[in-house]
Amino acid sequence: MNAIVETRNGRLQGIAHADHLEFRGIPYALPPLGRLRLSAPQPIPAWEGILRADRFTDPCPQALNPLHGITRTSEDCLSLNIWAPPLNGHNKPVMVWIHGGGFSSGAGSQLMYHGKDLALHGDTIVITLNYRLGVFGFLHLDHLLSGTDNEFPPASNVGLRDIVVALKWVQENIEAFGGDPSQVTLFGESAGAMAITCLLTSPYAKGLFKRAILQSGGADFILTRDEADEIARHFLKSEPIAQVLGTASGSAALALLRNLSVETLLKGQQACQLLYYNRGPYLQQVIQRGMTLIPVIDGDFLPQAPLKALQEGVAKEIPLLISCTRDEWNLFLHAPEADGTTLAKRRYAHLDKSRLISLCERRLPGLGERAANLYEEMVPRWIDTPTALDIFSAFESDRLFRIPSIRIAEAQANFRKDVYMAHFDFDEGPMGACHGIDLPLVFGHTQTPMGTALIGNNTANQRLSEQVQGAWIAFARSGNPSSDAIGCWSPWLAGAPSTLIFSRTAHMGKDPVSLTRKLWEGIL
């Protein structure tokens, strides 16, 4: 069956299932090809006739990862997907998902993010989208190649600008699908949540959404202007890029970059992953390696660091729901790599207390032994006999995810009484309560292969998924995640950091990192 909807750009033909409608691969901007590569997204013109929206668009070029289920990519990637109940009503809340993947991988069309179950559970509109990634979305050449193309200049934060154009499309068109443009909630995980923290504080995104859900993402994965320029220089000097550019500069260099093959650009991207930047906002540096193609404080799209902006109340009109998982870093330690091995076996097979202290010291100079001892005391709360690797995972989980999430809650709680914090402790899967276990619970995909790989296969999964979905939907409707299934969810307040714990049952609890939080004061 077919479903035809009239949008401002023209008519769309989607798929009418028995209980819901689905529209795939709706273009929201012009394909960023040729002179549009590396530039801000351009609005898509109206089309004549009926445009078929029954196939997903390929995601942005990236290194293919079999775990993501992505087999093809294309620069012609700027599209969104919609799951909606039948068109028998209006003013339904709208939930727009921003996928993760370290700003260098992922897609809105991944099976884990299909929105049918969430849309039907909550009588909501669920939208997922693609945005530009890696060097295509976060190689900031606007300084180094300024003035080289007056019509389509290279821009900063291109991937974030893509998301803004998609959100403008939602504002202009979602009523045709039964949605309420004044009731848009952004939700995203990992880099998707980090992107949302940028949108919370960007003047370009003001008024495009009403609420936000941040899953396992902080506000401090951000580059300074100098760091971004240095990473761009390193990319231009990398062997595969320098071989083509030679001595070219200015307009000639930009023209060559826009004509390079995708494969060559991805080879140059690998060189950027060897660099590092400083995540610490205080005197002590917090060095972050690997994930360097990320948003930048450019003075335009991002006038200042997102966390500092939140602390100053820039997003004080937005209710927030913030979550993280107990064992975030376990996913990166134990998920199989392309050759079948794991980071845990490859790098940490013989980790002991002495090396644990060294690892902590490298990340927190002068505090390594204190950190190792603190986490050695904390981890037995949920693991009877923890290994040194379990302790290191807890340390990294806090450094990369939990402490940055708490900083967002602290900042927003200074201005609002409707900031909510969740902690996923559900550890029935093979990697414990790892990064990403919330995904099958939020989207209702507990029985898919990826779902069972993350959270196992047991009777508690479906019940917990219903509780999580109910809370997320309630928040999207009202700004309060309390529901019949979980009861009253107390907000996170300064001095009273109430946290909803999702374990085999959902219950209110206290600050899960109270023992170690002081370690990070004045650092993150």
Beta bridge partners of 353: none
Structure tokens belonging to residue 182: 């004044």
Please identify which of the residues 190, 202, 238, 465 carries the catalytic annotation: 190
Whole-number Å distance between alpha carbons of 77 and 356? 43
Nearest to 195 by CA among 172, 221, 173: 221
Question: How far out from the chain centre does Cα 388 lie?
Answer: 29
Which is catalytic among the residues 393, 435, 466, 482? 435
Confidence (pLDDT) at 146 = 79
Q: What are phi and psi of 217, to 5 degrees?
A: -150, 135
Residues 98, 163 contacting (CB under 8 angstroms):
yes
Residue 444 exposed, middle or buried by CB count within 10 Å (0-12, 13-18, 19+)? buried
Q: b/e string for 445-454 if b means 16 or more Cβ within 10 A?
A: bbeeebbbbb
* Structure confidence by residue, pLDDT tens digits, 324-358: 999 999 999 999 887 889 999 999 999 999 999 99
Give the separation between CA 32 and CA 40, rounded to whole angstroms: 9
Q: Which residues contact 312 (CB under 8 A, 6 or more apart)?
A: none
What are the extents of the domains in the chain?
2-215, 319-351+386-520
Query: How much is the average pLDDT of 350-370?
Result: 94
Q: State the catalytic residue, choosing from 22, 75, 328, 466.
A: 328
Cβ neighbours of residue 66 under 8 Å, at least 6 residues apart?
A: 338
pLDDT in tens, 221-266: 999 999 999 999 999 999 999 999 998 888 999 999 999 999 999 9
State the average pLDDT for the chain. Answer: 94
Residue spans of beta strands (DSSP E) within 135-252: 179-189, 211-215
Distance, CA of 214 to CA of 306 (rounded, Å): 14
Which is more confident, 290 or 304?
304
AA identity, residue 132: R
User: Tell me, what's the pLDDT at 64?
Assistant: 86
Candidate CATH numbers 3.40.50.2300, 3.90.420.10, 3.40.50.1820, 3.20.20.80; the one for domain 2-215:
3.40.50.1820
CA torsion 212-100-145-242 (nearest 10°) is: 170
Residues 168, 199 contacting (CB under 8 angstroms)? no
* Mean pLDDT of the region 172-190: 97
Tell me, yes or no, if 239 is annotated catalytic.
no
Question: What is the C-alpha to C-alpha distance for residues 167 and 487, in angstroms, rounded to an integer?
Answer: 32
Instruction: Measure CA 37 to chain center.
Output: 23
With the C-alpha atoms ordered 446, 449, 455, 458, is the resulting torsion angle positive or negative?
positive
Instruction: Identify the pLDDT of residue 1.
Output: 55
Tell whether the model's pLDDT for residue 69 goes beyond 70: yes
Q: What's the DSSP call for residue 326? A: T
Do the Cβ atoms of 169 and 79 come closer than 8 Å?
no
Give the pTM.
0.96
DSSP calls for 110-143:
-GGG--HHHHHHHT-EEEEE----HHHHH---TT
pLDDT digits (tens, 9 = 90+) for 92-105: 999 999 999 999 99
Q: Could you confirm whether 369 is annotated as catalytic?
A: no
pLDDT at residue 160 greater than cutoff 90: yes
Contact of 472 with 420, CB cutoff 8 Å = no
pLDDT of residue 172: 97
45 confidence band (pLDDT: 50, 70, 90): very high
Say whether pLDDT at 412 is over 80: yes
State the number of CA atoms in the 13 A half-sphere of 406 facing the CB. 25
Each residue's pLDDT tens digit, 460-497: 899 999 999 999 999 999 999 999 989 999 999 988 88
How many H-runs (helices) and E-runs (strands) does the chain carry?
18, 17
Q: What is the pLDDT of residue 234?
A: 94
**Both tokens assigned to 488:** 């009253």
The Cα 164–Cα 205 span in angstroms is 6
Residue 408 has φ and ψ, to the nearest 5°, of: -65, -45
Q: How confident is the model at residue 321 (pLDDT cuts 50, 70, 90)?
A: very high
* Of 61-70, 115-124, 457-466, minimum mean pLDDT range: 61-70
pLDDT exceeds 80 at position 282: no
- Whether 328 sits among the annotated catalytic residues: the reply is yes
Q: Is the pLDDT of residue 65 over 80?
A: no
Report pLDDT for 126. Answer: 98
How far is the C-alpha of 64 from the C-alpha of 42, rounded, in Å?
27
Q: Bridge-partner residues for 129, per DSSP?
A: 80
Query: Structure tokens of 184?
Result: 């848009």
Q: What is the 3-state secondary structure (H, E, C) of 244-290?
A: HHCCCCHHHHHHHHHHCCHHHHHHHHHHHCCCEEECCCCCCCCEEEC
Percent of the chain scoring above 70 in pLDDT = 99
SS3 512: coil
Q: What is the band of 134 on the pLDDT scale with cuts at 50, 70, 90?
A: very high
Sign of CA dihedral 105, 95, 76, 439: positive
Q: How confident is the model at residue 283 (pLDDT cuts 50, 70, 90)?
A: low
d(CA 296, CA 199): 12
Output phi, psi for 2, to 5 deg.
Answer: -115, 150
Q: Residue 83 above 90 pLDDT?
A: yes
| Residues in CB range of 463: below 8 A, 6 or more apart | none
